[in-house]
């Protein structure tokens, strides 16, 4: 499957990088600029898909959304499915509800569903769980938190809520399902695979239980994804966000420059 090779070989050949996400819808994506600048081949194939929990099934969880004063969002998926369920169940969220988001991008995404006001929308400074919890800590005594999640939610957030004796509930609104990428992995010897969630790493081994990294480089976005890569016994070569690489594109650019690709 994927072999990779010594640095000299990588300098002399066109690198192939598998991005485990859907292909960008616009040609203006920085990924395409990266491919052109360094003459690399980028293939896009999502390793997972998201399936929503129907409103009728959510009812069985016996979570009364309107009784919570704050909602925690760790992804755009959680935002989408929270408001989807609210619409299905005809739940009207209070105008005074507060929203705590893992990143500014997720916070801004809320504008799709609510009138955005900074006094009720909060987010961490650097996109880490730690910075989000620091913001939540300032409000924990006055709020009753609802944590919409998938089947692979951030356990550290729930552990923090429990440890700090917050009033909270988790709500399973969607689940991640591995997609079939066996043919994709079999047809091309990729020099690098880039992951964006722990579920993506899990999907790799569900598709290829006998996967061996050998010379394949691995990239990961986000601390939980990085941890999943290492827990799987893989060597992590490209990590984002980082101080000099806030995005995966920036991290890949640094990596390619380090190889001497021009």
Please state the domain extents for the chain: 16-47+179-260, 50-137+153-161
Q: Please give the structure tokens belonging to residue 253.
A: 């650019």
> Which CATH number applies to 16-47+179-260?
3.40.50.10090
Q: Is pTM, for the whole model, over 0.75?
A: no
Residue 115, CA distances (Å) to 118, 143, 219, 259 in order: 10, 20, 36, 46
pLDDT value of position 70: 98
User: Taking a C-beta distance cutoff of 8 angstroms, is the pair 46, 177 a contact?
Assistant: no
Could you please state the CATH topology (level 3) that the domain comprising 50-137+153-161 is classified under.
Rossmann fold (3.40.50)
Torsion of CA 124, 128, 132, 133, to 10 degrees: -150
CA–CA separation, 224 and 193 (whole Å): 16
Tell me which residues of the chain have a pLDDT lower than 50.
1-8, 262
Look at residue 105 in the predicted model and tell me its pLDDT: 87
Per-residue model confidence (pLDDT) at position 151: 62
Intrachain domains 16-47+179-260 and 50-137+153-161 with the same fold: yes
Q: Using CB atoms within 10 Å of the CB of residue 103, give its burial: 0 to 12 exposed, 13 to 18 middle, 19+ buried.
A: buried
Q: Say what the pLDDT of residue 153 is.
A: 58
Tokens encoding 246? 């806030």
**Residue 125 pLDDT:** 85
């Amino acid at each position: 499957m994927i072999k990779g090779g010594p640095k000299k070989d990588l300098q002399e050949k066109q690198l192939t990088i598998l991005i485990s996400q859907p292909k960008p819808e616009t040609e203006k994506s920085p990924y395409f600029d990266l491919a052109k600048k360094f003459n690399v081949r980028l293939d896009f194939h999502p390793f997972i898909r998201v399936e929503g929990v129907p409103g009728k099934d959510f009812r069985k969880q016996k979570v009364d959304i309107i009784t919570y004063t704050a909602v925690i969002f760790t992804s755009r998926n959680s935002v989408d499915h929270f408001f989807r369920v609210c619409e299905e169940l005809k739940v009207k969220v209070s105008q005074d509800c507060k929203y705590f988001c893992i990143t500014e991008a997720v916070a801004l995404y809320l504008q799709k569903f609510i009138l955005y006001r900074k006094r009720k929308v909060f987010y961490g400074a650097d996109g880490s769980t730690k910075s989000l919890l620091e913001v939540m800590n300032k409000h924990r005594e006055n709020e009753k938190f609802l944590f919409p999640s998938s089947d692979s939610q951030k356990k550290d957030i729930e552990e923090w809520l429990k440890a700090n004796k917050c009033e909270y509930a988790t709500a399973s609104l969607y689940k991640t399902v591995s997609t079939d990428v066996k043919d994709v992995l079999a047809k091309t010897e990729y020099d690098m695979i880039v992951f964006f969630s722990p579920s993506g790493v899990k999907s790799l081994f569900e598709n290829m239980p006998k996967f061996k990294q050998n010379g394949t480089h691995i990239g990961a976005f986000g601390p939980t994804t990085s941890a999943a890569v290492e827990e799987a016994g893989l060597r992590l070569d490209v990590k984002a966000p980082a101080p000099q690489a806030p995005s995966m594109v920036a991290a890949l650019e640094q990596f390619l420059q380090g190889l001497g690709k021009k």
